[in-house]
Amino acid sequence: MADASAVLRSEWLKIRTVRSTAWTLASAFGITVVFGALLSALTNTGFHNLTKSQQLTFDPVSTSFSGGLLGQLAMIAFGVLVVGSEYTTGMIRTSLAAVPRRGTLYLCKVAVATVAALAVALVTSFVSFFVGQAALGSHSTTLGAPNVLRALIGGGLYMTLIAVFAMGVATMLRSSILAMGILMPFFFLVTEILAAVPGAKTVAHYFPDQAGRAMTRVVQDSGTPYGPWGGLAIMVLWVVAVVVGGYVVLQKRDA
Amino acid sequence: MIELAGVTKRYGTKVVVSDLTFSVQPGAVTGFLGPNGAGKSTTMRMMLDLDRPTAGQVLIDGKRYADLQNPLRIVGALLDAKAMHGGRSARDNLMCLALSNRIPASRVDEVLEEVGLTAVARHRPKGFSLGMGQRLGIAAALLGDPEILIFDEPVNGLDPEGIHWIRMLMRSRAARGCTVLVSSHLMSEMTLTADNLVVIGQGKLLANTSMSEFIAQNSRTYVRVRTPEPEKLRDALAAAGMTVVTAPDGVFEVVDVPVEQVGDVLAAAQVGLHELSPQHASLEEAFIQMTGNATEYRSGPAAPVPGQPNGAAATPNMQQESLAAGKEA
C-alpha cells in the first residue's frame, strides 16, 4: 500500500474535476435545508391542529431535518456517480491500468468520496437545524438541549452513510443507471411505504435508512426495537456489507 | 518485454483465447494481427490484468502487471479511445493518471504538446472527434514515458496525417529500444509498420515470425497452368528444371519462373493448354487464408494443425516454427 497516498491524491482530483460532484452535493445541501425550513414553518403555523399525543411526541430536530428525505436522494446520486461514471465512461479500464491493485483504487475512491460527503452532510445537518429552528418559532429547541448535538451529528452521519451505501451498490452493479434506478425508488418510496404497513413494519425497521434515521431523532419512535446507537450500528452493518460486496465484485470481475 | 505463457481465456464455454504463448521483444514494432473477433483485444486486456486469464500468465519484464509499482511508467496502453471521463478536461484526465503514478505535472503538458492537443487541453473530451479522442488516449499511454507500448487499433478514426504520425511515433519508440505491440485487422497496415508479426485467429496462435520472413514465405508469385495432358506437362517442366505443384481441379502451379519461360517450354514440348496465367498471392490473401483456415480448424476435431490441401503451404511450417520459438522464449 505504499502508493495509497498517490492514489488518494489522484482520486481527490478526480472528484474535484467533474461537475456532478458540485451539483449533487449542492443539491443535497439545498434541498435538505429548504424543505426542512418549509416543513418547520408549516408545522409552526399548524401546531395547534396536531393531536395531543402528536404534540407530546413532537421532535423539533427531526422536523427541521425532514428535508433529508429528499436531500438523501442527491446524496445517493453523488455516491452512484462517483463510482458509476468510471463505468459509463469506460474510464475504469484506464484507472485500473494505472492502479492495478484494485482494492487500493476502490478503497481510496470510497475514502475520498466519503470525506467529501461527510463534510457536506455535517454542514447540511447543522444549517438545516438552525434554519428549521428559526422557522419553528416557539416550538423550537436549542443546540444545548439533551440529545440535540447527537442528533445533528447523527444527521450528518446518516447522509454520509447513504452516499457510501450508494457507492457500494454502484460498484456491485457496475452501472450508474442501474444503481440509480434501484436506489432512488427504494429509498424514496419502498422503505417509506413498507415502514407504514403494519405487517412489513417489523422488517422495514431493519432497512438501512429506517435504522439510520434513529440517529437523527431526539424523540424516539415508540415502536422501534433499538435506540439511536443501535440504529447507527444496523446502518453501518448494511454499508459495510455493500462496500465489501463492491470490493468482491471489483476483484473478481473482468474490467 | 511482454511474455505470454499458455494464456487462455474462456467466457463460460466460449474459448476466446486459446493457449497463447509468445513474447514481444524490445527494439521492434510487433504487429498483432487477426480478424475482428480473433481475441486481440482480450489478449491485450489480459496483458494489463484488466481481464484475468482462465489459464496461463502474462509477464511484463518478468513481473505480473498487478505487481508493477507505478505501472504507467513501464507500460503505456491505448485500448479504447473513449476510456476517459468525458466531463473532465483533457488535462485533468491526464493529471488524475499522473498523480496516481507519481508522474510530474510537467509531463502532462509535454505529452499534450506531443500529441497536438495543447490548444484543447482545458476542453472536455465529450466534444472531441474520434481522432482527438484517439490522440488523448495516446497521450495517456505516453504519459509515464514507458518502455512498453500497447496500442489496440490505434489508427481507428485518425486522418491520414494522424495515421502517418502514429506510425512514425511507433517506429521512433522502437528505434529507441522500446517494446511496441500494435494490433490491427489489416495486413496492409502491418506491412508499413511492423518488424515482427504475431497472427492469431479464433484465439489461436497462427504465426509468430518476422515481417520479412512472413513476406518471403507468403508473397509468392507463380504461374497457373491448366492442361488436358498432365503427364506431358509434368515431363516437359521437369526436363526444364522447373518445380511444379499440383493443385485441385487439374490445375498446376509453377513456382518462381516467369510466365514467358513457362509458355516457351510448354510450346516447345507441344503441350496443349487451357490456361496459362501469372499469379501473385498478396500478403492480404495469405493472411485471410491463414485466419480463414483457423475457423475450419476450430470446428473440426482436436487435431492441432492438419496439413493443408492447397494454397498457403507455408502456414503449417510457420505454425511449427512459432511454437518452437514460443517455447524457447
Does a structural domain hold residue B252?
Answer: yes
Does a structural domain hold residue B73?
Answer: yes
Q: What is Dmax (Cα atoms) for chain A?
A: 63
Q: What is the CA radius of gyration of chain A?
A: 19
Nearest to B88 among A18, A93, A255 (CB): A18
Residues of A in contact with B102 (CB under 8 A): 3, 6
Does a structural domain hold residue B298?
Answer: no
DSSP B286: H
Same domain, B60 and B114: yes
Task: Tell me the shortest Cα–Cα distance from B12 to chain A, in angstroms.
Answer: 13
Convert the pLDDT of each residue in B151-185 to its tens digit.
999 988 888 999 999 999 999 999 999 999 999 98
Same domain, B78 and B143: yes
Asked whether residue B6 carries a pLDDT value surpassing 50, the answer given is yes
Q: What end-to-end distance do the CA atoms of chain A give, in Å?
A: 21
Task: Test A18 with B48 for CB contact under 8 angstroms.
Answer: no
User: How confident is the model over B271-275, as a mean pLDDT?
Assistant: 91
Per-residue model confidence (pLDDT) at position A200: 84
Does a structural domain hold residue B265?
Answer: yes
Same domain, B29 and B169: yes
Asked whether residue B67 carries a pLDDT value surpassing 50, the answer given is yes
The one-letter code for the residue type at A14 is K
Residue A191 confidence class, pLDDT cut points 50, 70, 90: confident
Nearest to A89 among B77, B86, B97 (CB): B86
Task: Test A91 with B84 for CB contact under 8 angstroms.
Answer: yes
Please give the Cα distance from B139 to B207 (Å, whole number).
Answer: 31
Residues of A in contact with B101 (CB under 8 A): 6, 98
Residue B293 confidence class, pLDDT cut points 50, 70, 90: low
> Nearest-CA residue of chain A relative to B92?
A17
User: How confident is the model over B190-208, as a mean pLDDT?
Assistant: 92
Task: Tell me the shortest Cα–Cα distance from A95 to chain B, in angstroms.
Answer: 7
Does a structural domain hold residue B300?
Answer: no
Task: Tell me the shortest Cα–Cα distance from B142 to chain A, in angstroms.
Answer: 12
Residues of A in contact with B86 (CB under 8 A): 89
Strand, coil or helix: what is B257? coil
Q: How many structural domains compose chain B?
A: 2
Residues of B in contact with A98 (CB under 8 A): 71-72, 97, 100-101
Does a structural domain hold residue B11?
Answer: yes
Nearest to B79 among A11, A93, A254 (CB): A93
> Nearest-CA residue of chain A relative to B46?
A254
Same domain, B165 and B265: no
Give the burial class of B8: count Cβ atoms within 10 A of its Cβ; 0-12 exposed, 13-18 middle, 19 or more buried: middle
Please give the Cα distance from B208 to B320 (Å, whole number).
Answer: 10
Residues of A in contact with B52 (CB under 8 A): 254
Asked whether residue B314 carries a pLDDT value surpassing 50, the answer given is no
Angle at B249 between CA B248 and CA B251, to 5 degrees: 75
Same domain, B96 and B170: yes
Same domain, B95 and B163: yes
Please give the Cα distance from B138 to B115 (Å, whole number).
Answer: 7
Same domain, B63 and B138: yes
Task: Test A93 with B45 for CB contact under 8 angstroms.
Answer: yes
CB B182 within 8 A of CB B194: yes
Please give the Cα distance from B173 to B148 (Å, whole number).
Answer: 9
Quote the distance between the C-alpha of residue B325 and its chain's center. Answer: 17
Q: How many structural domains compose chain A?
A: 1
Same domain, B263 and B209: no
Same domain, B7 and B78: yes
Per-residue model confidence (pLDDT) at position A56: 86
Task: Test B83 with A93 for CB contact under 8 angstroms.
Answer: yes
B262, B280, B298 - which closes a domain: B280
The CATH number of whichever domain residue B142 belongs to comes to 3.40.50.300
Asked whether residue B273 carries a pLDDT value surpassing 60, the answer given is yes
User: How confident is the model over B264-286, as a mean pLDDT?
Assistant: 86
Please give the Cα distance from A159 to A28 (Å, whole number).
Answer: 9
A213-225 b/e (C-beta count within 10 Å ≥ 16 → b): bbbbbbebeeebe
Same domain, B136 and B258: no
Convert the pLDDT of each residue in A2-12 to its tens digit.
589 999 999 99
Convert the pLDDT of each residue in A95-105 to its tens digit.
999 999 999 99
**Nine-digit cell string for A244:** 465489501
Please give the Cα distance from B112 to A207 (Å, whole number).
Answer: 49
Best mutation target among A20, A21, A94, A176 (most B Cβ atoms within 10 Å) is A94
Same domain, B86 and B171: yes
Task: Test A13 with B95 for CB contact under 8 angstroms.
Answer: yes
Residue B305 confidence class, pLDDT cut points 50, 70, 90: very low
Per-residue model confidence (pLDDT) at position B107: 97
Q: ipTM, 2 decimals?
A: 0.90
User: How confident is the model over B271-280, as a mean pLDDT?
Assistant: 88
Does a structural domain hold residue B307?
Answer: no
Higher pLDDT, A216 or B312: A216
Residues of B in contact with A100 (CB under 8 A): 48-49, 65-66, 68, 71
Nearest to A89 among B48, B72, B85 (CB): B85
Nearest to A18 among B65, B83, B85 (CB): B85
Which range marks the domain in which residue B33 is found?
A: 2-215
- The rounded percent of chain B whose pLDDT value lies above 90 is 59
Higher pLDDT, B124 or B192: B124
Please give the Cα distance from A212 to A116 (Å, whole number).
Answer: 19
Per-residue model confidence (pLDDT) at position B116: 94
Same domain, B156 and B250: no
Per-residue model confidence (pLDDT) at position B291: 78
Which range marks the domain in which residue A209 is found?
A: 4-252
**Average pLDDT in chain A:** 94
Task: Test A99 with B100 for CB contact under 8 angstroms.
Answer: yes
B182, B215, B248 - which closes a domain: B215
User: How confident is the model over B6-34, as a mean pLDDT?
Assistant: 95
Task: Test B96 with A14 for CB contact under 8 angstroms.
Answer: yes
CB B219 within 8 A of CB B311: no
Q: Indicate the helix (H) or strand (E) that contains B281.
A: none
Asked whether residue A160 carries a pLDDT value surpassing 70, the answer given is yes
Per-residue model confidence (pLDDT) at position B206: 92
Task: Test B102 with A2 for CB contact under 8 angstroms.
Answer: no
> Nearest-CA residue of chain B relative to A252?
B52
Asked whether residue B322 carries a pLDDT value surpassing 50, the answer given is no
Task: Test A6 with B99 for CB contact under 8 angstroms.
Answer: yes
Which residues are paired to B208 by β-bridges?
B198
Residue B294 confidence class, pLDDT cut points 50, 70, 90: low
Task: Test A13 with B96 for CB contact under 8 angstroms.
Answer: yes
Convert the pLDDT of each residue in A192-241 to its tens digit.
888 888 888 888 889 999 999 999 999 887 778 899 999 999 999 999 99
Nearest to B69 among A3, A9, A94 (CB): A3
> Nearest-CA residue of chain A relative to B82?
A90
**Nine-digit cell string for A145:** 438541549
Residue B258 confidence class, pLDDT cut points 50, 70, 90: confident
Per-residue model confidence (pLDDT) at position B280: 75
User: How confident is the model over B18-42, as a mean pLDDT?
Assistant: 94
